[in-house]
Structures are given as structure tokens and as C-alpha cells.
Amino acid sequence: MINMYSMILMAEESAEESSLFSPDQMGGYAATILLTVINVLLVFLFFKFVLFKPILGVIKKREELIASQLKDAEDSKAQAALNAEESKQAIDDARVEASQILEDARTDAEEQAKIIKMKAKEEADEIIDRAQSEVLRMKKVSIEQMKDEISDLAVEVAGRVIGDVVEHDKLKDLAVKHTEELVGEEVDSLGE
């Protein structure tokens, strides 16, 4: 028991000698602080090189991908706006061209209609002129035939009335002469 008692006494003495700010305790604190700082540095380096560097690389690649996609989207938007403007211009040009084509077609159709009307009028005038010429010719022929028939009839009538006093040929000549004088004026007026 003495031993125990002496140990307790020694512990009490040593407890009294060692306080919180004793050099022994300060050395222990410094060692603990140094080990903690080293541990924190090691953990920091471990996280930095093992965890943070790959994670930051993935984040950077993701940022680059997003930036690239945004740039592509902006380029696509600009291209779509340009295409829309070109399409609008093409539609406007097509409308102008279509209206010009319609106007040209309308003008051509009107000119063709005028030409067709003129040709039809000319052909109708020619047909009318030919018909009038044919009518005049047929009228002259009819008058000539009538003149011959009238002359023959006059000679026959005169031959029955007068008899054989005047020769038949002379009578015919006289009838033709008088018939030509009467009918000739009519034929001449038709020719004019």
C-alpha cells in the first residue's frame, strides 16, 4: 500500500508541477498544433490533387461545352435570322416578279387580242370585198344574160310584128344596140 500511496503522492506532485501553461504542456500543444497543421495540409493537398483537380477539370470541360453550345445556338439563331431575311426577300422578289409576269401577260394578251381583232376585221373586210365583187360580177353576168335574152326576145317579138320586112340579123343588131344602151348604163354604174 505504500506503493500506492507513494504513487498518488507523486502524481499529485507532478500534477501540481504541471499546469496548463507549463513548458511541458506548451511543447505538447506545439506538437499537437504542428501535427494538426501538417494533417490539414496533407488533407488539403489530397483534396486538391485527388478530388478538386479532376472535379475542376470536369467543371471546366462542362463550362467549355456549355459556352460552345451557347455560341452554336447564337450562330444558329443568327443564321436563322439571316435565312429568314433571305426568305422574306426571296418571297418579296417572287411577288414582284409574279406581278410583273402577270402584267406582262395581261399586256401581251391585250396586244394579241388587238392583233386578232385587226386580223379578223381585215379578213372580214376581205371576205366582204370578195363577196361584193362576186355579187357585182354575178350581177353583171346576170345582166349580160338578161341582155342577151331580152335581145333575143325583142328580135322574136319584132320578127312576129314586123315580119320579114327587116332582116333577122339587122333586127337582132338593133335590139342588141338598144338593149346595150339601156342596160349598159346599169352595168356601168355597178362597175363603179
Q: List, for residues 77-129, the tens digit of each pLDDT value.
A: 999 999 999 999 999 999 999 999 999 989 998 999 899 999 988 998 899 98
Q: What is the pLDDT of residue 51?
A: 81
Judge whether 171 and 155 are in contact, CB under 8 Å: yes
Examine residue 8 and state whether it is found in any structural domain, yes or no: no
Q: What is the pLDDT of residue 47?
A: 83
Examine residue 158 and state whether it is found in any structural domain, yes or no: yes
Examine residue 5 and state whether it is found in any structural domain, yes or no: no
- Please choose, from the candidates 172, 118, 125, the residue with its C-alpha nearest in 3D space to the C-alpha of residue 150: 172
**Which parts of 24-151 are beta strand (E)?**
none
Q: What is the pLDDT of residue 107?
A: 92
- How far, in whole angstroms, is CA 57 from its chain's centroid? 52
Examine residue 10 and state whether it is found in any structural domain, yes or no: no
φ, ψ for residue 163, nearest 5 deg: 90, -135
How many domains does the chain divide into?
1
What is the largest distance, in Å, between two alpha-carbon atoms of the chain?
A: 219
Judge whether 140 and 191 are in contact, CB under 8 Å: yes
Q: What is the pLDDT of residue 162?
A: 67
Examine residue 137 and state whether it is found in any structural domain, yes or no: yes
Q: Which domain holds residue 144?
A: 27-191
Torsion, Cα of 170, 176, 177, 183 (10° steps):
170
Q: What is the pLDDT along the chain (192 residues), one digit of tens a residue?
A: 456 666 666 655 555 555 666 777 777 788 889 999 999 999 988 888 888 778 888 889 999 999 999 999 999 999 999 999 999 999 999 999 999 999 998 999 899 989 999 998 899 889 998 888 888 888 888 777 777 777 677 666 666 666 656 666 766 676 677 677 766 666 566 555
Examine residue 11 and state whether it is found in any structural domain, yes or no: no
Examine residue 16 and state whether it is found in any structural domain, yes or no: no
Taking the complete model, does pTM exceed 0.75, yes or no?
no
Examine residue 63 and state whether it is found in any structural domain, yes or no: yes
